[in-house]
Amino acid sequence: MTAGRTTHNRTGDVSGEARRRRTFAVISHPDAGKSTLTEALAVHAKVIAAAGAVHGKAGRHGVTSDWMEMERARGISITSAALQFAYGDTVINLVDTPGHADFSEDTYRVLSAVDSAVMLLDAAKGLEPQTLKLFDVCRYRGIPVVTFVNKWDRPGRDALALCDELAERIGLAAMPVTWPVGPAGHLRGVLDVDRGDLIRYSPSAGGDAAPELRVDQAQAEGELGREWIRAREELDLLQASGGEFDVARFTAATATPVLFGAAVRGFGVRRLLDLLVDVAPGPAPRRDVEDRVRPLDAPFSAFVFKVQTGMDPAHRDQVAFARVCSGVFERGMVVTNATTRRPFATKYAQQIFGQERSTVDTAYPGDVVGLVNATALRVGDTLYTDKPPVRFPGLPSFAPAHFAVARPADLSRAKQFRKGVEQLGAEGVVQVLRSDRRGGAAPVLAAVGPMQFEVAAHRMEHEFTSPVRLEHLSYRAVRRLADPAQRPLVDAGRRSEVLTRLDGTDLALFGEEMDVRLLQRAHPELVLEPLLAEGG
């Protein structure tokens, strides 16, 4: 799993190393098969010997620390970050997007660390809510998306209907790279659009890196008859209406290459890897806060996109995950934190994914490094060595979906309470909202996922010695209030109010979407904007 890490020295060809990297995340709804696909991708690259190592299911290897045991007991996966493996000459960095019980603002933020995304759909379900939320973030950041329709070995929806759904619901034209032969549940193989031949599906091939069985067009038609002809016709139909593959439309994020497969059988996975190698963008130079470009071969720079604090105070095991933006990272180097201007020694640099940890010695643009014991680092921090100093834009805040009033459980700890809440807000653990109406003593905490409240409550108790009581609010719709002068219109509502976030954004909260519509109807002059993300 350390492929490509250790054999290069400081003067290595940084641009060349960057060019051969593909850093992406899989975005999906729970149960679509993200773990299975991750495993299949890694297995295919022949990194993980036994299927299942990533999943961490029963009977697999891997040393499990107490800390991780605890995470599991709490149903939280707080160690996953990025899996790195070599695929031919390419170094693949697969960044994890936490997505089950631990869906949170972090899930969105990790997308700031990737250059492309694989949108994984269940053939029977198509676009699902969590996939849509993550897709919105990709769209906001302009991240190109490849679509992989999974579970084609089981009954599911019609391939054309799934492609229509992409166009209609998210405005992405589907550009098939493979096309299924045989309906979902009766998969015979996929037609490789580029080569025109058939990649045969064999259910007995198992979930390992079975070789692709290719059959030329004439033989495929002879063997499969109507099913082959039908697949060709469907494909022609789609291509005639704008579905011709075009790399430029993919990188501009206006169209998505689509592949069909069955991750559990490893089917379609190789084609996916090849596509990522061929067309997915590698790391590009980033712009700093002053809109200057930091070239890939400038001295080392990186930004922290995720910080995980051990839930066990005895360990205080904080890991900061940083994506390398320029230059070469070498373990042990002393870097400067652009926020505090303080030096930080990177003695403990690790690559962490699931239960596996390995030491990182060298990393290049596109790679993710886990800095252990990085208690001084915060989400959004920039790290750099040598001149010129650089600071990348901070990470944006996303539309919260959960709200709770926080109060100190012990009134004698009011000072610690205030300090803790400020700190957690500044770190982006939760968003902190206030209003004159509610007063300063009872801020409203807002989060994308409820686990953020758990983390905040835990840290308030153990780190800031001020346990909190949370009283959940039943707001389900949120907008940005464009004009502060219109605040009274929202505050007058029975199930709505305006709260101001630490970054100054006015959030209008409503009981239901219906309340937004009713208020807008009564006051057409009221400007309420959809809220996905700001800043960053």
Which residues, numbered 106-165, are part of the site for ligand G4P (CB under 6 A)?
A: 150-151, 153-154
What letters, b where the CB count within 10 A reaches 16 and e where it falls short, cover 123-153? bbbbbeebbebbbbbbebbebbbbbbbbbbb
Nearest CB to ligand G4P, comparing residues 95 and 369? 95
Strands (E), 216-300: 255-260, 286-287, 293-294
Both tokens of 433, joined, read 């909202």
**345: enclosing H helix or E strand:** strand 342-345
CB 205 within 8 A of CB 188: no
506 is in an annotated binding site: no
Nearest CB to ligand G4P, comparing residues 101 and 247? 101
Residue of 3, 15, 19, 31 that binds ligand G4P (CB under 6 A): 31
The CB-of-186 to ligand G4P minimum distance in angstroms stands at 13
97 is in an annotated binding site: yes
The CB-of-122 to ligand G4P minimum distance in angstroms stands at 8
Nearest CB to ligand G4P, comparing residues 54 and 507? 54
Q: Which stretch binds ligand G4P (CB under 6 A): 26-34, 306-314, 347-355, 421-429?
A: 26-34
Residue 34 lies near ligand G4P (rule: CB under 6 A): yes
380 is in an annotated binding site: no
Angle (deg, nearest 10), helices 34-44 and 269-279:
80
The CB-of-34 to ligand G4P minimum distance in angstroms stands at 3
**Residue 442 neighbours by CB distance under 10 Å:** 13
Which residues, numbered 243-262, are part of the site for ligand G4P (CB under 6 A)?
A: 262
Both tokens of 186, joined, read 């009766």
Residue of 4, 33, 98, 243 that binds ligand G4P (CB under 6 A): 33
Residue of 23, 35, 301, 355 that binds ligand G4P (CB under 6 A): 35
Nearest CB to ligand G4P, comparing residues 23 and 150? 150
**C-alpha dihedral, 42 to 46 to 47 to 52, nearest 10°:** 60
- SS3 state at 166: helix
**Residue 459 neighbours by CB distance under 10 Å:** 20
90 is in an annotated binding site: no
Nearest CB to ligand G4P, comparing residues 32 and 91? 32
* DSSP string across 57-94: -TT------HHHHHHHHTT---S--EEEEEETTEEEEE
| Residue 516 to residues 205, 363, 447, Cα–Cα distance (Å) | 53, 48, 20
Which residues, numbered 262-281, are part of the site for ligand G4P (CB under 6 A)?
A: 262-264
Nearest CB to ligand G4P, comparing residues 34 and 402? 34
The CB-of-506 to ligand G4P minimum distance in angstroms stands at 36
Residue 102 lies near ligand G4P (rule: CB under 6 A): no
465 is in an annotated binding site: no
Report the relative pairing of strands 342-345 and 397-398 from DSSP bridges: unpaired
Nearest CB to ligand G4P, comparing residues 182 and 536? 182
Residue 408 lies near ligand G4P (rule: CB under 6 A): no
Binding site for ligand G4P (CB under 6 A): 28, 30-36, 150-151, 153-154, 262-264
Binding residues: 96-100
Binding residues for GTP: 96-100
